[in-house]
Every structure is written in structure tokens, then in C-alpha cells.
Chains A and B, each alone.
Chain A
Amino acid sequence: MKKYSFILLALFISTGAFAQKLYTKAGNIKFVSDTPIETIEAINSRVACVVATEDNTMQWSALIKSFEFEKALMQEHFNENYMESNKYPKAIFSGEISEGTVEWGTDGKYEVKVAGTLEIHGVTQDVEVPALVMVQDGMISTTATFVIKPEDYEIKIPKVVRDNIAKEVTISVQAKLESL
């Protein structure tokens, strides 16, 4: 009886370790637009993410108004003129690990690719980005860096500031995940 109880307990623990939902409400997204004229950066530290480890699917959501800029005028133009954040308040990525595997219960660094759809400014595009998942002592964190083109999301940049804003913007994502 003791033996069966032990096996059942082990099964329960292993199921719990490998089939779970991980989440955060406090992920970070930073974007950088770099041109010879100026570098524009913004940070959002309230990004939500849910990962289902049983099928490696995930969803990331960020509120556009939660991006903070160094300069007030940039933040105002970003929200009102470019991103139209009253009309399109969120950016959403839905996808799954498309290349590579993650042993969610085993310490290690896992280089993967994540594919899915990215909706920004009301426009949805297919994307595939490299990502790194780190598992250490039960703590799971993830990072990814990729590039998007504002024009792919119908973000219109006025001619007068076109040279100030990069044609390709670098996005960096970082999150520490915990069990839901």
C-alpha cells in the first residue's frame, strides 16, 4: 500500500511539474527606435503573460498606455498620433513554441522559436521570434528580442518626423513566470 501511495504521489508531483499554467502580470517590454537623429526608448513593466506548459502555448498582452517614455511629448505623440491607444488599447501576441523543446521541470537554458500572431494597432501579423527560456530551481524566466516594422502595423509616421523614427524598431521582452 505504501509503495502504491508513493507511486501515486510521484505521478501527482510530476504531472504538477510538467502540466501547469505559468503566468506573470509584471513582465517587461522595452522598445528602441534608433536613428542618427535620436534614440527613442519606452518601457512597459506591466505586461501580462500566460504559458500552458502542456502544449507550449502562450499569450502576451500589453497596454499601450502603460509604455513610459523619458520625454512627455514623445509619450503623447506615441499614444495620440501613432498608436491611437484610445482606439487600440492593447498589443497581443498569441502563439506557441514552434522550434526546440523546453523541459519545464528540469534546470537548463532552452533556446527556442516562438511562432504566432502579433496584433498591434488593430493589425495582426504572423511572426516567428527566437526566445530563451531559463529554468532554475523551479523558477522560470524568459527573454526574447526581435524587430518589427511600424509600417507593417499601419502605424503612420508624419513626414516631418519620419527621419527621427526608425523603420525597424527593436522589441525586447522579459518575464519571470510563476504558477497560476
Chain B
Amino acid sequence: MLLAILVVGIAIGKGVQMYTKGPVSIADEKVDLSISPQSLIKDFTTDEAAANTKYMNQVIQVDGTVQTVVKNGDQYQVSLQTGNPMSAVTVTFEKAQDLSNYAPGDNIKLKALCSGFLMDVEMTNGVLIH
């Protein structure tokens, strides 16, 4: 009887823990592929549907040059230069990530998840790679 109560209790606890778990971090996730901001923009502007299939749900490493750094609420958003003045690769970083030391022109190495393409290629869950 005690064992049954214990098992049910653990199951409920696990369920509550799963349900209330905060946003997922990719800090410990392995990188699936690496690409430059220029190649990422080129792929999305050439064939958006194919690029969506290729890049969505992947942990992508991007090495590039900072175009802008903006703090939106409690998250940093960094746009990377692509050579196209109208289209950047913009990464919204995880809340724990501090990019206060980054400025336009700095080199940056990061990993993030690709959400797709609007005016920019948009990435979320950004984490710096040191």
C-alpha cells in the first residue's frame, strides 16, 4: 500500500515538474550544423521552403560580425551582418545571456534555433559560445 502511494506520488510530482518547467535552454545541446550569416540569408532568399526544412529544429552555430545589439525587455537581440543592408540574421538570446559587452563590429560566436525568415532570418534561444 505504501509502495503504491509512493509510486503515485512520484508520478504526480514528475507530471507537475514537467508541466511547470520553464523555457528550454540549449546551453548544453550539441550543435547540429555551422553556417555563416551570409550563407544563411542566401539559402532563405533562394528557396525559403527548402531552407525552412533544412534549418528549423536544428541547433545552429553561427560565427559573424555584430550589426546591432538591442535589449528588448530582459532579452538581448543581436543582428549579424550579412552584406545585405535590408536583411540580417537576428538572434534573440536566452534571458540568462549577458551581451552588454558586445557592440557593432565585434565578432561573435553563438548557437541558436532557427524560427524562419521574415525580413531577417530569425533565431531564438541564442547562447554565446566562448
| A and B from one complex | yes
Q: Which of A46, A62, A86 contacts B92 (CB 8 A)?
A: A46
Interface size class of B (residues with CB under 8 A): 20 to 34
Are the CB atoms of A65 and B23 closer together than 8 Å?
Answer: no
Distance, CA A70 to CA B92, complexed state (A): 16
Q: Are A73 and B92 in contact (CB under 8 A)?
A: no
Q: Which residue of A lies closest to B70 (CB)?
A: A26
Instruction: Say which residue of B21, B72, B120 sits within 8 Å of A45 (CB atoms).
Output: B72
Is A68 a contact partner of B23 (Cβ separation < 8 A)? yes
Interface check B118, CB cutoff 8 A: yes
A70 touching B124, Cβ below 8 Å = no
Q: Are A48 and B22 in contact (CB under 8 A)?
A: no
Q: Which chain A residues border B77 with CB–CB below 8 Å? A: 26, 45-46
Q: Is the CB of B56 within 8 A of A89?
A: yes
Alpha-carbon gap, A62 to B57, bound state (A): 17
Q: Which chain B residue lies CB-closest to A24?
A: B119
**Known A-B contacts A45-B73, A89-B52; A75 and B118 likewise in contact (beta carbons under 8 Å):** no
User: Which A residues are within 8 Å of any B CB, using their own CB?
Assistant: 23, 25-26, 45-48, 61-66, 68-73, 75, 86, 89-90
